[in-house]
Amino acid sequence: MAERYTTVGVGLMGLGTVGTGVYKLLSRHDWLNVCRIAVRHPNQKREIVDLDTNLLTTDPFEVVRDENVRLVVEVMGGLEPAKDLVLEALRLGKHVVTANKALIATHGELLFQTARDNNACILFEGAVAGGIPIIQPLKLSLAANRVQEIAGILNGTTNYILTRMSQDGWEYDQALAEAQARGFAEADPTNDVDGFDTAYKISILSSIAFQTRVDPAQLSVEGIRSISAKDITLARELGYGIKLIGLARAAQNGAIDARVHPMLVPLDHPLASIHHEYNAVWIQGDAVGDVMFSGKGAGEMPTASAVVADILAIGNDLHTDNPTPVPGMRVQFNGQALLQPVSDTQNRYYIRLNTRDVPGVIGDLGHCCGAAGVSLESVMQKGITLDANGQIKTAAIILITQMVYEHQLQDALNRIRQLETTGSVGCVLRVLG
């Protein structure tokens, strides 16, 4: 081997859960030298035994500007000051590794451009699905494909809640409380349960898959708060599980159909067997067919595994006497994605109706759907009882539609709501596949 090896100076911004894991894994490689660490509380007791406290600073810009630092690792989270720090590092020609999904989803285009302009790399495998390799495989291993669809279970908190609701028959509130007690959910669970975390991640994945910027702020996002144990039970009887899905599809005319919402997932779909805090990304490419990547989506060591893989990928290159940024690791967007309006998206739908009365209701529903151009795949009556006169009454009717446009579905729902026989529309969910 002709190469000479040099030590690579690494600056670490953040020494919380993930940062501590990164530090531990980096200690396996003596040619990677952590030479500056930014922390919020320098006197805090830490679980790293041999930490040299002289490396610590409360000013992260000191890490970025340290002349020994050639590679900056950002694991502090949040948009500011992370954005300014990463930009400054890239402008100084330093390579950056980050696990910050909000940062990449929101400012990725600017960061990637700044990296290119300064012949630097920015990698972010840890930003999506923790330790599961997905960013590099999408950029490199699936590069020969035109991606047709990505469907991901990208948030461990909501998947844990939905799993407990499904397996234990719990309602949402009980499952959320259990997730909080086990440390899977935060005291304020909004970011997870309302789908914002998933929105960041599907926006990053679809941006890479379709090589165009998908703005997370423009996605249609629905969370899982309104999912009931009743719908989970009914869905299972019909052969489906309910999962919070980040979805991105190549639509007509170059548009991208990207959104986040709970979906009925057929029980024989690979995503249906992803339970508890596990994450998975299912990808359909025009050459490879369907592939799936699954594993634990978060936690100290899984996320650190992804961050350190990125550090090694850059570091292995810097480490020789002929360092060059790796072009295959670059991301370049062809402008802003044209997002398909939700009303123009196509889906199959699950509709649970609370009906007052049976005679005629099926026929009425059929008319409403027919008038809106919505074909039905199945109609199921549940909880049938007889009233005092011996007339059949039913508590719920479940419709599954064929593939229809959202605007057709809304038209049908409006017509159904006006029926005298319909009590209320209890739940509407989209169906995967």
Interacting residues toward a second copy by CB under 8 A: 1-3, 21, 25, 28, 116, 119, 125, 131-133, 136-137, 140-145, 270, 273, 285-296, 299, 301-302, 304-309, 311-313, 316-317, 319-320, 322, 324, 326-328
Is the preceding omega at residue 42 within 30 degrees of 0, hence cis? no
Looking at beta carbons only, is 288 or 371 nearer to a second copy?
A: 288
Q: Which residue has the tokens 């509709």?
A: 351
Minimum distance between the CB of residue 26 and a second copy, rounded to whole angstroms?
9
- For residue 309, the minimal CB distance to a second copy (Å) is 5
Task: Pick between residue 132 and residue 412 the one whose CB is nearest to a second copy.
Answer: 132
Of the chain, the end-to-end C-alpha distance in Å amounts to 51
Q: Report the distance separating Cα 375 and Cα 405, nearest Å.
A: 11
Tell me how far apart the alpha carbons of residues 24 and 284 are, in angstroms, rounded to a whole number.
36
SS3 content of the chain, % helix, strand, coil (to 5): 40, 25, 35
Nearer to a second copy, 53 or 119 (CB): 119
Find the shortest distance in angstroms from Cβ 343 to a second copy: 33
Least distance to a second copy, CB of residue 274, Å = 9
Q: What is the dihedral of CA 233, 239, 244, 250, to 10 degrees?
A: -160
Indicate the residue among 131 and 216 with the shorter CB distance to a second copy: 131
Considering 139, 201, 243, 296, which one is annotated as catalytic?
201
Comparing CB distances to a second copy, the nearer of 203 and 294 is 294
CA distances from 57 to 63, 83, 265, 275, 311 (A): 8, 19, 48, 41, 21
Parallel, antiparallel, or unpaired for β 71-74 and 8-13?
A: parallel
The question of whether 201 is a catalytic residue gets the answer yes
Q: Which helix (H) or strand (E) holds 112?
A: helix 101-117
Q: Give the residue numbers annotated as catalytic, written as ranges.
A: 201
